[in-house]
Amino acid sequence: MSFADKSFSFEFFPTKTEAGHEKLMAVARQLAAYQPEFFSCTYGAGGSTRDRTFDTVMQLEREVQVPAAPHLSCVGDSKAELRQLLAQYRDAGIKRIVALRGDLPSGMGMAASELRHANDLVEFIRAETGDHFHIEVAAYPEMHPQARNLEDDLAHFARKAKAGADSAITQYFFNADSYFYFVERIRKLGVEIPIVPGIMPITNYSKLARFSEACGAEIPRWIRKQLEAYNDDSASIQAFGEEVISRMCEQLLVGGAPGLHFYTLNQAQASLAIWKNLGGAA
């Protein structure tokens, strides 16, 4: 089966050290050979990575022949700060932005926040920069952890599309049905933007469990039990993870997902293994 018409993208986070940054760039060069549609780089809510995200995006754009998209979140940043950053990106020729609300680190107040939800940020970006940017937003097939119910969450997602988002990337999940159900329900609300599944390769169980707890992604019992049983046998965890995630990706693409967005955690191997299992070639 060929998925040549599907779009693939990879996400990185900006690193704190020079060595980490060099590694990120090496990973990006390796992944660039597979001609993804874009790379994205996360942003620390409240601006904690403002400069590092900017510098990483600019270096990716300059040195690796793949368009780079910065993430931008609105909580903890003022309109003036967001306006300045948007102008810098626009002037530097960046064409795509991932627009988010963000999660402030505990203890950091909302004082600087003038925009409280991602739909406010999308509206702001459109008001400031017109149609310059392709705007990606976040979607939650298993519901955002703070959502009261699915109906509210769907309605809030629909607001982002109405405010001018062009497409969406989902939080990761391990249950393809949640994605298909989310897409079906959102289409019934008349929202037609592409919704690309976010894919988290499985490489380390304890980290994955911690992270999934925080972001509200459910690890199904049969996956969790098996990963627990492997204990610290990382080769078996990776082999099992690769098989399970590759199967889910195939199911998603066959079922109509427009592409896949990989949360690489700045590692090439796990995402590439899945991509190759899906028939992707350099």
Active-site residue set: 11
Residue closest to 81 by CA, chosen among 105, 119, 109, 50: 50
Match 């779009």 to its residue by tokens.
7
Q: Which residues contact 76 (CB under 8 A, 6 or more apart)?
A: 45, 46, 47, 102, 104, 108, 110, 112, 113
Q: Which residues contact 134 (CB under 8 A, 6 or more apart)?
A: 69, 95, 96, 97, 166, 167
Residue 126 Cβ vs ligand FAD, minimum distance, rounded to whole Å: 15
Rounded to whole angstroms, how far apart are CA atoms 164 and 161? Answer: 5
Residue 35 Cβ vs ligand FAD, minimum distance, rounded to whole Å: 21
146 or 206: CB nearest ligand FAD: 146
Classify the phi-psi angles of 125: left when phi > 0, otherwise alpha if psi is within -120 to 50, otherwise beta. alpha
User: What tokens does 71 get?
Assistant: 């993430």
28 or 98: CB nearest ligand FAD: 98
Helices H / strands E in the chain, number of each: 10, 9
Residue 280 Cβ vs ligand FAD, minimum distance, rounded to whole Å: 21
71 or 96: CB nearest ligand FAD: 71
Residue 14 Cβ vs ligand FAD, minimum distance, rounded to whole Å: 10
Chain residues in the site for ligand FAD (CB under 6 A): 42-43, 45, 71, 73, 98, 100-103, 117-119, 138, 144, 146-147, 152-153, 156, 159-160, 169, 171, 198
195 or 272: CB nearest ligand FAD: 195
